[in-house]
Structure 1
Amino acid sequence: MTDVRLPRTLRRRIPVRQILCLLPLALVAVVAVRHWSVLVDGFHHLATAKWPWLLAAGAATCLTWVAAAVTRQGALVERLPKCRLLATQFAAGAANHLLPTGLGASAVNLRFMAVCGVPLTRSSAALALYLLAEAIARTGLLLALLIAFPDALRPDKLIPDAAVGPLLIAAGAAACVALAVLLLVRRLRTALSTFLRTALGEARSVHTRPARALALWGGSFSFPILQAAGLVAVSLALGLPVSPLHIVVAYLAATVAVALIPTPGGIGSVEAALIVALVAAGGPAAVATAVVLAYRIITVWLPLLPGALTLGALVRLKMI
């Protein structure tokens, strides 16, 4: 057969990488337009706040990326390049606010570890270990503080009595459905058991190295503490009449509760949960709303565009 070659213009590939570089910026624009009123209100409250405390909140936010990078390294035996790891966490934060909760950051970090030569099974195990350690640390801190300070929240304002029953029924039904699917689908059961063996092996390997274990758990506990410290700083900047300790408890309670709601970066659900939690801690609703809007501007909206640009640059440089 005769080899017929297409013209060069027709043989050009679609510039997928260039499209991926621009995609985060397009998503930022879409999200910003959808939440324009929230942005306007948040910047209005920032203009009336005490700037030293806002700078402290910004510093705490920057340190959360360092804590995330330390935790990611602690979850994996292989040494990752430090600067690229930190830049990846900054970019992953932007991806996390543009995709359903956790998916953006997970995809970015999986791709980063793949470029660094880590097999998919082990990078997935490291990701699962990271998520598990972060969840244990956040929930453990919340339970410890609630035991030590049982009056930090007002449960009657946090969860109405009428909602407790439906919540328990929904959680039980979800657990039963997941168990039934797992028991009935053999292929899924086999894949899950294989993954669990790999994950347990990775966890054992990490915990036989004191430096890795310290990084994993130190970063896991530091991350929510730094996030809560940022909220405390914004509360002090706007004069919220709630003690810093109670604000920390309110923050942990709100983020634990909202973790199961799959909205992009928790946008919308996190604001609502934080306002309810701050009111449950004793704060006036109007001031609590102002604090939450200002806090989300600092932690989400201000880093969003630089994070998206960093993500695009990492894609273009083939680092992820």
Structure 2
Amino acid sequence: MRVDGREIVVAGSLLQPLIRRTADIIRVVLSAIAVAIVVAGSVVTRSQWHALEGSVSDIVGVFTPGQSNFIYLLYGVAILALPFAVLLGLIIGRRWKLLIGYAASGLIAGITLSLVANDMSPPEWHLNPARLDTFLAQFVDDSRWIGMLAAVLTVSGPWLPTRWRRWWWTMLLAFVPIHLVVSTVVPARSMLGLVVGWFVGALVVLVVGTPALEVPLDGAVRVLAGRDLTVTGFTVVQPGGPGPLVLSAATEDAEQVIVELYGKNQRSAGAVRQFWRWLTFRKSESAPFHASMHRVVEHRALMGIAIGDLGLASSKPIAVSTLERGWELYAHSPSRGSALAPIDDAMVACSTWNSLKILHSHQISHGDLRAAELRIEDGTILFGGFGNAELGASDSHLQSDIAQLLITSTALFGEVRTVRTAIDRFGEDAVVAASRRLTKSAMPARIRKSVPDSGAVLTATREEVLKQTQAEQIKAEQVTRFSRNQLIQLVLLIGLVYVAYPFISQVPTFFTQLKTLKWWWALLGLGISALTYVGAAAALWACASGLVKFRNLVIMQVANTFAATTTPAGVGGLALSVRFLQKGGLGAVRATAAVALQQSVQVITHVGLLILFSVVAGTSADLSHFVPGATVLYLIAGVALGILGAFMFVPTLRRWLRDAVRPQIQEVFGELSELARDPKRSALIILGCGATTLGAALALWASIEAFGGGTTFVTVTVVTMIGGTLASAAPTPGGVGAVEAALIGGLAAFGLAAEIAVPSVLLYRVLTCWLPVFLGWPTLRWLGRKDMI
């Protein structure tokens, strides 16, 4: 490279990979969206759109036929000469590589728009000297010509002067208003040609590149020369990619300068990153928006000066400047000192926290405390990389610094020494407060990626803080705008709306039947339904060996109704029970085992009661409604065999079955054998599970009696248990639709009239499902506020 008569040697590649050309990728995506919109619009609203265009043309078309022909003639000459003017400019500028892209884009766009079904329609442009306006109209109205023009302008536009580019695009897009003012309709295929040409040109630009990809090293040489640094050569240290293009500049005075160059792609990616952090993180957790890349680089240089004044900066800013084609330059001295490595040195660990203490005493946060940004010189820790540093930092930024250094220092010096030193320098309260950020969501990804096995390091550091400070617990800090519990509750609420929709459609019919309702039976059913929560809470309390408060368990059962109803197969209710027991003091394994034990006893009790009441009911009932057809039975058997074969022949599934499932099953069987030796506990669990099953049957029986009755409690119990069992396999949340169909069909099988069975089942679902669900939502939120889930 030759600059001002001097030869500058450049070693290394300056090109950016395709996947990092953010601006070009965004252009391709926007053009593809435009193609989709035009195609969809032309298919859906073609006739209406033509009518609208005709109406607009009648309003604005004020020219006479002679004037219209004259305007059409002038515009046709301009649109015909436009590509040749662009071509001439490329040849004069010796843009040979760009010339290839110009020709390729025009050819691809023309061929693409010539495809018709399975054939190709060649252009038919004829010269008729007697009718020049007709000849020019062939180009103005031809989608291929419009597409070719859009493609070549997209490719050559970035290389053209801004004024030329704007004028030529204005000239091309003018075909829409010109068609309207001369009282004609815009050809639909011309609009298609415009967006297709833009898309083809955007793809070619992504491959060929733009002037923004050409690194203005000559400008960098001149900027450094203004700082009395005469550059003799550049060596690429880090190619352009997710970060800046980093070069090492050698000077005539044998002084080395590190030059960082930021292009338009870094600017767009940085803006997207800033916007994402603002959207997802709380205001106190994200830095203020920077208006431009120049402000970002300037901020970094100023923070380097501020930290350098404290004697803690590993490098010194030299120059910040805007270069040609949107590039920004940041030059600084090479980093002083040596890099930190995992060592067992108490002095180095103390120096690390001492340096951070000095920063915080001047209300400066660093924000990027990776080991790569820490260096040591003469026993003093120096900082580098000030892109995330803040002057006048908030408490959130200072706490984030402490949390980051806890992780980095633990990886270097071990958690015991790290926590002890941090407490000595900042105090127990500050370390405990910062430890709330030792979570995956609060810890920046760049910090986690810099530490091997970051998950284990986070856990070990947090536990060590608990040990040395004797704190009861460390509650995770919420750094995002929405917590995980809030997102889960939003999903559950959406599920509630989904499952409630089929029921809402049946509400009018249900209300017409309420005229004959006996309200005392409905109130009895509601009371019985409430007692089922007490039974379920008693069973779970006994399964947990009485280690949680029974009153809280009853409240949790109400919230459990909401979680179980709004998730398929009731998995939300099981997860909520496990979480509640964990927050109550049980370990994860013990809580899971307690819930599994309750479910196992519930199944055993359910099956036992089903057999007992089926025998009592006799064989007079028609149970054919409950028996699936042969096709369904074969399908179930086939799926079961397929699952069995998968677990037998897939090693990963076998290991999961052996390592994760089998221990849980063994623990459940161990609990069951222990229950056999504890009659009081066994009786309480069985009674609680039995109360849940029989309570549901009693609620349905009371609902039937509320509409006149007509069947026995034994019959209703069999229907409830068989229908509930079949409906539990339904994929809908809460079994909505399946439960109602199964219960109504079961009651009909036992001879109950449809005019009683249908409203009775709907009333039963209101009492046992929908009322508890709407009570469960605020109860679930209350449990969350009390930190019980």
TM-score by length of 2: 0.38
1:221-252 CA-to-partner distances (Å, cap 9, x unmatched) read 11110100000001001013222321222112
Q: What's 1:220 paired with?
A: 689
Bigger Cα displacement from structure 2, 72-81 vs 268-277: 72-81
Structure 1 residues 260 and 22, CA gap change in structure 2 (3 angstroms):
closer
Does the aligned pair in 2 maintain the 1:76–1:206 contact within 8 Å? no
TM-superposition CA deviations, 1:73-124 (whole Å, max 9, x none)? 2222252111111111110011111111221210110100111121222222
Name the residue aligned to 2:606.
Answer: 138
Between the aligned partners of 2:573 and 2:602, the Cα distance in structure 1 is 14
Alpha carbons of structure 1 residues 158 and 29: separation in structure 2 relative to 1, 3 Å: closer
State the partner residue of 2:521: 53
Matched residue, 2:482: 15
- Which of the residues 154, 164, 168 maps onto 2:633? 168
Q: 1:179 aligns with which of 644, 659, 663?
A: 644
Which letter maps to 2:788? M
Corresponding position: 1:126 with 2:604:
no
Closer/same/farther in 2, CA of residues 176 and 22 from structure 1, 3 Å limit: closer
Moved more, 89-98 or 183-192: 183-192
Structure number with the higher strand fraction is: 2
Which residue number in structure 1 is paired with residue 727 of structure 2? 258
User: 2:769 is matched with which residue?
Assistant: 300
Say whether the 8 Å CA contact 1:24–1:312 is kept in structure 2.
no
Deviation at 1:19, TM superposition (A): 4.6
Q: Counterpart amino acid of 1:177?
A: G
Cα distance change of structure 1 residues 44 and 311 upon mapping to structure 2, 3 Å threshold: farther
Q: Give the Cα separation in 2 of the matches to 1:210 and 1:80.
A: 21
1:24 Cα deviation after fit: 4.5
For the residue of structure 1 that corresponds to 2:506, the secondary structure is: helix
Aligned match of 2:710: 241
Q: Residue type of the partner of 2:681?
A: R
Matches within 5 A, 1:1-320: 1-2=383-384, 4-5=388-389, 12-16=479-483, 17-20=485-488, 24-46=492-514, 48-151=516-619, 153-159=621-627, 163-184=628-649, 185-190=653-658, 191-320=660-789
> What is the alpha-carbon distance in structure 2 between the residues aligned to residue 240 and residue 158 of structure 1?
22
How far is 1:274 from its partner?
0.3
Question: Over residues 128-164 of structure 1, what are the superposed CA-to-partner deviations in whole Å (9 max), with x where a residue is unaligned?
Answer: 22112111212221121222222363123444xxx43
- Pick closer, same or farther for the CA change 1:128–1:44 going to 2, 3 Å: farther
Change (3 A) 1:147 1:113: same
- Whole-angstrom distance in 2 between the partners of 1:152 and 1:68: 33
What is the CA distance between 1:215 and its match in structure 2? 1.6
Give the superposition deviation at 1:201. Answer: 2.4
Question: Please, which runs of 5 or more residues in structure 2 have no aligned partner?
Answer: 1-382, 401-478
Cα separation, partners in 2 of 1:193 and 1:18, compared to 1, 3 Å: closer
Structure 1 residues 281, 71: CA separation in 2 closer, same or farther (over 3 Å shift)? same
Q: Provide closer, same or farther for how the CA distance between residues 235 and 177 of structure 1 changes in structure 2, counting only shifts above 3 A.
A: same
Alpha-carbon distance, 1:22 to partner: 5.6
Report the CA distance between 1:313 and its aligned residue: 1.1
Q: Distance in 2 between matches of 1:91 and 1:46?
A: 28
CA 1:27 to 1:47, structure 2 compared with 1: closer, same or farther past 3 Å? farther
Structure 1 range deviating more: 105-114 or 20-29: 20-29
Bigger mean CA deviation after superposition, 115-124 or 92-101: 115-124
Gapped runs of 5+ residues in structure 1? Answer: none
Q: Which amino acid counterpart does residue 35 of structure 1 have in structure 2?
A: F
Deviations along 1:186-225, whole A, 9 cap, x unmatched? 3123122222222222333344333321121111111110
1:32 is displaced (CA, Å) by 3.1
Q: Tell me the secondary structure at the aligned position of residue 35 of structure 1.
A: helix
Higher helix share: 1
**Counterpart-to-counterpart distance in 2, 1:18 and 1:124:** 23
Q: TM-score, normalised by structure 1?
A: 0.90
SS of the residue aligned with 2:569?
Answer: coil
SS in 1 for 2:538: helix
Identity %: 27
Write the distance in 1 (CA, Å) between the matches of 2:510 and 2:784: 31
CA distance in 1, matches of 2:752, 2:505: 23
Counterpart residue number, 2:119: none
Report the CA distance shift for 1:132/1:58 in structure 2 as closer, same or farther (over 3 A).
same
Amino acid at match of 1:203: L
Quick one: structure 1 residues 231 and 34, their matched pair in 2 at CA, closer, same or farther if it must change by over 3 Å? closer
Task: Specify the structure having the higher radius of gyration (Cα).
Answer: 2
* Equivalent pair of 1:138/1:252 in contact (CA under 8 Å): yes
Q: Measured at CA, do residues 158 and 31 of structure 1 come closer, stay the same or move farther in structure 2, by a change above 3 Å?
A: closer
**Shift, 1:23, TM fit:** 5.4
Distance 2:715 2:596 in 1: 30
CA contact (8 A) 2:626 2:722 kept: no
